[in-house]
Amino acid sequence: MKNTDSVPLAQQAPEKANKPTHEHNHSKAPEESLLKIYWRLWLSLTILIGFLLLKFVLSYELTQPVEIGLMVAAYLLAGYPTLERAFLSLKRSDFFNEFTLMSIATLGAFYIGEYSEGVAVMVFYEIGELFQSLAVNRSKRSIKALLDIRPDSVTVVRNGNHQVIHPSDVAVGEMIIVKAGEKIALDGTLLTQKATFNTSALTGESRPATKHAGDAVLAGMINLERLIEMQVSTAFKDSKLSRILSMVQDATSRKAPTQLFISRFAKVYTPIVFFLALSVILLPFFFVDTYQFKEWLYRGMVFLVIACPCALTVSIPLGYFGGIGLASRHGILVKGSNFLDVMTELTTVVSDKTGTLTRGVFKVQEIKTSLDEQEFIQTVAALEKASTHPIAKAIAEYALDQTQIHHVERVEEIAGQGLKGIVAGKNVLCGNLKLLQKFNITYPTELEQIVDTIVAVSIDNQYVGYLTIADEVKEDAAQTVAELKKMGIETIMLSGDKAAVVQKIADQLHISTAYGELLPEDKVQKVQELKNAGKRIAFVGDGVNDAPVVALADAGIAMGGLGSDATIETADIVIQNDQPSRIVAAIKIGKLTKQVVWQNIILAMGVKIAVMALGAGGVANLWEAVFADVGVALLAILNAYRIQSKTLS
């Protein structure tokens, strides 16, 4: 079971303990601009190529002091960051890392007089490191850039004047204006009667969304038609978009099991290859009659160069960064690479009904009451206005064209059942039949035969009538269930709605197992039973009422996370545009990412083992070793990088 799922992001410390100590990003200390790195490596490579042309093409022999001087200059230009890191590692008693291995190998080449090869190893190693760093940095930037769309300025209305300031300086409750074509900088409530927004940057949905006065509007939306006014409801740092940005940045610190394994593997692998290289150098002394120290030292240096684990330690996290980036472009926010792995292992997707497989846009269909209908709907709507549940919103919306709604107080929401409160001095209950049963309210038995969602009402402990509410299935829900079935993944539906309604939707979507009339604790019990049976579970819900079961599942998936802080904090994966088909996309992205990561592992280890054997046998030289090492690293990087440009079928 996950132990951080229900912890707010601000309290979730990155997994520093799991972070490998052999990071080699050029953005790390010592800090150095990319331009300086380019010039250093270019000068070093120029000196090396010039020397090789003079010596092997033009057959011009330099004096030994001049040759050594040129090679030392080229070596230091290229390799001083690696030498410095090796020195700092040794001061920390961290001997077994790639910087130390590379320093020993290249200095060993100088010791036996192979100056140009020592320089070549260091130059091409640093070039490979540079490419790796650029790829990692670009991948991280691309993930952040997908959502970092917050404007740097906002127009606030203060004392009747318009002031352009930074969004962080706007207080909650202040009014701001947004011109046509501008991005909204802060979360708030629309004051203008009606407005149309482009929400694609947040949800991936291309169709414009129309909002009315009183509706919530979010940072990142683009105002399409006319100047609007809105009241700020959330501070800049607490906006939905800011929280999602923090989530995406934190995602890279939550590592998949494969990453953790490679990190641990590298810590064991590095000392092993060092001692194997030492054995290649020293053991032949006891078995080879023609033993020459320089020859076997050279073979040991080749062994060390090719054994460097950089291709593994960079290309694997880069593959997961690519997977997180690809998911983000499809409107799927993944809180960590570990959840990409979980998505590849699912056997069962357990889904809520309302707002997940159905639109959650309810309409009042029928009203039956012993009271005056207008008085009845006013009373019910007064209580339901206190809830954010889709059914409550439908009733409140229906009552908008009625006369003034009554005053309400002491509202209490009873999870999975409904609401109770005092409306115009009367005790009112609104909810499902379980709510009436809970308070021993007698109602007509024929209510239990109604298939549609029903809201039963009692006033002062007397049943007075009911409303029926209808919802509709999302366009891609049936396709999602069918595709999951093709993948061998079972879909189960859990809902607090009436069993008859749940079964009706299940039949419509061809879901074989569905349960209705469940309280939140009942959903937890059902999911726990599935886990006890050895199932790997993803639960898809709204992330608020279902927070306990979202946290319990192996992967908690929230629909429409932009609408709920609890969703962002509780779920492992947030689907921004409410489309169930994104569940299938998340599974495909997880499988693609894992496939590429294992391709890189097999490629890197296969080539390394082969060239290490050739080097120990004296067949491969330092040139071949460095080209094999850098070449494998670059191939692994390119393979990982293609995830980011992948189009899902």
- Active site members: 352
Rounded Cα distance between 46 and 570, Å, is 55
Residue 332 is which amino acid? Answer: I
Instruction: Indicate the SS3 state at residue 551.
Output: helix
Q: Looking up tokens 């689907």, which residue turns up?
A: 575
Rounded Cα distance between 471 and 452, Å, is 9
> Quick check: 382 and 400 in contact, CB under 8 A?
no
* 88 contact partners, CB below 8 Å, separation of at least 6: none
Exposure pattern of 381-395 as b/e (b: 16+ CB <10 Å)? bbbbbbbebbbbbbb
> Quick check: 542 and 520 in contact, CB under 8 A?
no
Rounded Cα distance between 116 and 252, Å, is 39
CB atoms within 10 A of CB 12: 18
Report CA-CA distances (Å) from 577 to 122, 152, 203, 205, 509.
49, 25, 4, 6, 20
Phi, psi of 95 (to 5 degrees): -85, -35
Rounded Cα distance between 638 and 625, Å, is 20
Pairing of strands 555-559, 537-541: parallel
Residue 385 is which amino acid? Answer: K
R_g of the chain, CA atoms, integer Å: 32
Q: Looking up tokens 């330092």, which residue turns up?
A: 622
Q: Provide the greatest CA pair distance for the chain.
A: 111
> Quick check: 306 and 105 in contact, CB under 8 A?
no
Phi, psi of 186 (to 5 degrees): -140, 155
Rounded Cα distance between 231 and 337, Å, is 37
